Amino acid sequence: MTPYDERTWGADMDLFLQRLFDALTNGSTYALIAVAMVLIFKATTLINFAQGEQAMLGAFIVLQLWKWGIPMWGAVVIGMVFSGILAACLERTFIRKFDPADHLPLVIITLGLFLVINAVAAIIWRFDPLSFPQLFPSGRAVTIGNARLSWYSIFAFGSCLLVLFVLQTLLTKTKIGLAFRAVSSNLESSRLCGIKIGQTLQFGWALAAAAGTLGASIYAANPVLQIEPTIMLRALIFSITAAALGGLDSLWGALIGGLTIGFVQSVVVQYIPFIPNEMTLAAAVVVLLIVLTFRPSGFLGTKTVERV
Amino acid sequence: MWVSLVLFFLLVAFAYVDVGSIAIGSNKYNLSLIRLNKAIAYSVAILGLQVVVGYTGQIALGQSFFFGTGAYISAWLVADYSWPFLLTLVIVIPSCFLIGMILGLPALRIRGLYLALLTLGLAALFPTIVKLDSLYKYTGGAGGKLTTNKITGSQYKFAPPSWLPLDEIAQALQKIPLLGGYFGDGPLSNREESRMWKFILFSLVASLCFWLISNLIKSKPGRAMRAVRDNETSAAVSGVNLAMTKTISFGIASALGGIGGMIYVAEVGIASPDDFSSLVAIYLIVGLVVGGVGTLSGAVIGGLVYALIPDWASSTQSISFVPQRWLQGPTGSLILGLLLIVLTLFMPGGISTAAKKVKNRFVTIQSRANEE
Amino acid sequence: MTDALLKVQELTATYGQIEVLHGINFEVRPQEIVVILGANGAGKTTALRALSGMVQTTGSANFNGSEITNLEPDAIVRKGVAHVPQGRGTFPELSVEENLKVGAFIRSDNEIKTDMESCYETYPVLYERRMQSAGSLSGGEQQMLAVSRALMSKPILLLLDEPSLGLAPQIVEGLFERFVTMNQELGTTMLIVEQNAQIALAMADRGYVLESGEIAVEGEASLLVNDDAIRRAYLGG
């Protein structure tokens, strides 16, 4: 086998393309959860460790609604609304009374929510994997050599862009969106401008949960996956890393971060011989470590991240 | 105070070595020494969290990483090199201390939420590390590492020294009128003796850890830690070496995690990857919070809660009015999560602080009553 | 003598355990410019924050016929009190125009656009930079933006916290001249907290001197300028 063997080269190229397509698929779903985390971080400088579980619960509700005969996209919308309302209630009951500057109680509360939501979902739906309705047309859209880009990947990426555009519009063109950005920019001045802080943050939580539910639904709709209560555990770490990579407070940063993590996972790790396949998680944690240590503001974040 | 505690431990050992279960309705709840040994293991690991989170104020949540590291190193030395368990601490403590210090280095630049993020990431990483093919020789891959001796194929035995008259004590206790029944019947079997000896040994190790840490907290480095927790800037201004204090507290916490891991694996007999997942890291935090952040006694309470509640929850297979299907789910996780939330909302000091408050109130009422 | 627009009685304010204001009394009459003078740490900023509902208070503050001490900050804004905090308090990540829109957050009438244009007329530099982020403005421009933003809520009473802080003297002069014109044209009542006693007293109707959380001196601005004690303490001889 010489380096100039064309057939091998072609196969290598196919493999590379296929991995690139995988990167796009995974990256898009990570980005959707990362966007949810970014929304909450922007407003409260809080990382919601329960974000993934809230999204998972939302996706299960979507599944349940679909099983009851509601058309799937209708089920997705109702599921998003439901998890939005749930998140607003969670914010009101558990989050608002704490001082946002004191991180430990908030971390603990979101970890508690993580456990509770996970357990509730497992009690209701058990740990058995269930198949999720197809949200997108099945089959391949583009075939290059042996590399296949499925419709699913295209739609997953497309939905990710769509969500970002919708959020962007919501935050820049509506009054509550403007209030939300004002609160994340300067809390005290927002109060002095007559903005009701609690309600605005509640709106942020609802928005984040809705986006997360869409993300988890799309993730679970991946033809190679099934839905189970632990589905978001792994995805959560990738998503957190994606969010941190993008800068934690930048929506578009979350997309770039998600795609980068997808790329690292599906492409980079595959080409470094001494890193075993299962180490993609490690790669993500190492990326997280490097970003937080050397460039806490990530790709696109504002440079106010806490430092000693 | 300490003497009475030791006596209490011994009594518990004799009482629960064999029977150790209560039945409520149709549910059986285990109280055996196995649970208590696990509780000791968790307590020591939570004690580590107390040092780094409770006293130094660093939100480092990945204790399961060091718990696992200690367990694996210990299992490896016992199985492959026929070391006795306690001796493995000679390796476990320094290596966990060092790894903790090294992994704690980024924390000099990262804090608050970011540290929480990173340490939980580390915790999630541990199972995948020990499952690595290249480490299979040492870790046993996904199947876990048995502590069974490789050459002889037998388990390490915790044999009580011959001068310790466990058997005689047991028999003497059985003769106590009325209460004697609680201490079983007849002489102790070998298994019972070894289990009891294990419990005594582990209690001693744990007590030593608690004693050392309680002294540390009162000493100069302990004051430095609390200064860092309360206000980093003013601590630095008053001459506390922030980097040193933080790194050392990470090291101590990790070493304690490793000791807990050793106890755990000595009790369970196998180190398996999923016993050290990020979920375990979260459960250990539950232990930290439930007992009370920044209290030593909180670590004991936390260890008991972690060892007993999930186990009891899964033993509860029937409660009237609750569908059985629900009880078969992860009710333990649900209860621990609820505890975490409810305690943070309503009892920020945890059980140990609340108990102190009740005691104080009682004492003041008493003294007032005396004055009148 | 007209009825006071704002009448403050025995107002105390506490941060945690520490009481910063120990029961102060003062009043602001309609269309007046009142200045509160005092050294660093005298409690000037706290006095304004207390009026805006940002700190724990006891005592009473009656604004325009209703008690405001027990209200949330957003409700106080809705009553017609606008507050320009110390250090400008703009929204650095938002554009100049968005800053003004946030200022008008409590309003839903159709005049917002017109009012925004009149802000731009007053400060043409803000118009030039309306798409730029507020964080990119100079200190003087930020102060203009902060004042304009506060005016966007159409306040009856404007609270200004050390508007001169960190600005060059010429800029301060221009800024304060605008305050006087605004006061005359729009009839906005102003309560200004300042360390720069000279320029503040020159434009104010009346003044109070706050010392260690208590009102030490009060009187007509023209009289305070000539008060020996004040000259020595705040006017540099």
B186/C95: higher pLDDT: C95
A102 to chain B, any CB pair closer than 8 A? The answer is no
pLDDT at res. C99: 94
pLDDT single digits (tens) A291-304: 888 877 777 777 55
pLDDT, mean of residues B139-158? 81
> What average pLDDT does chain B have?
83
Q: What ipTM was reported for this prediction?
A: 0.88
pLDDT at res. A307: 34
pLDDT, mean of residues A248-257? 88
Q: Which of A249-258, B18-27, B58-67, C167-176 has the lowest mean pLDDT?
A: B18-27
pLDDT, mean of residues A168-177? 92
Q: The domain at C6-80+155-234 falls in which architecture?
A: 3-Layer(aba) Sandwich (3.40)
pLDDT, mean of residues B103-127? 83
Three-state helix/strand/coil letters over chain B? CHHHHHHHHHHHHHHHCCCCEEEECCEEEECCHHHHHHHHHHHHHHHHHHHHHHHCCCCCCCHHHHHHHHHHHHHHHHHHHCCCHHHHHHHHHHHHHHHHHHHHHHHHCCCCHHHHHHHHHHHHHHHHHHCCHHHHHHHCHHHCEECCCCCCCCCCCCCCCCCCCHHHHHHHHHCCCCCHHHHCCCCCCHHHHHHHHHHHHHHHHHHHHHHHHHHHHHCHHHHHHHHHHHCHHHHHHCCCCHHHHHHHHHHHHHHHHHHHHHHHHHHHCEECHHHHCHHHHHHHHHHHHHHCCCCHHHHHHHHHHHHHHHHHHHHCCCECCECHHHHCCCHHHHHHHHHHHHHHHHCCCHHHHHHHHHHHHHHHHHHHHHHC
Alpha-carbon distance C87 to nearest alpha carbon in chain A (angstroms): 11
A88/A294: higher pLDDT: A88
- Tell me whether residues A191 and C54 touch, CB distance under 8 A: yes
Domain range list for chain C: 6-80+155-234, 89-144
pLDDT at res. C140: 87
Domain range list for chain A: 6-33+40-231
Q: Which of A194-203, C1-10, C158-167, C185-194 has the lowest mean pLDDT?
A: C1-10
pLDDT at res. B5: 66
Residues of C in contact with A190 (CB under 8 A): 91, 102
Q: Which of B311-315, C77-81, C164-168 has the lowest mean pLDDT?
A: B311-315
List the subunits that have 3+ CB pairs under 8 angstroms with A.
Answer: B, C
Q: What is the CATH number of the domain that holds B256?
A: 1.10.3470
Nearest CB partner across the interface for C105, out of A179, A188, A302: A179
pLDDT, mean of residues B108-113? 76
- Tell me whether residues A103 and B113 touch, CB distance under 8 A: yes
Largest CA distance in chain B: 74
pLDDT single digits (tens) B241-286: 888 999 999 999 999 999 999 999 998 888 999 899 888 999 999 9
Q: Does the pLDDT of residue B160 top 80, yes or no?
A: no
Q: Does the pLDDT of residue C66 top 80, yes or no?
A: yes
- Tell me whether residues B329 and A126 touch, CB distance under 8 A: yes
Q: Does the pLDDT of residue A278 top 70, yes or no?
A: no
What is the pTM for the complete model shown? 0.85
pLDDT single digits (tens) C138-193: 888 999 899 999 999 999 999 999 888 888 888 888 888 888 988 898 889 999 99
pLDDT at res. B18: 55
pLDDT at res. C1: 45
Alpha-carbon distance A173 to nearest alpha carbon in chain C (angstroms): 10
Share of chain B above pLDDT 70, in %: 83
pLDDT at res. B4: 66
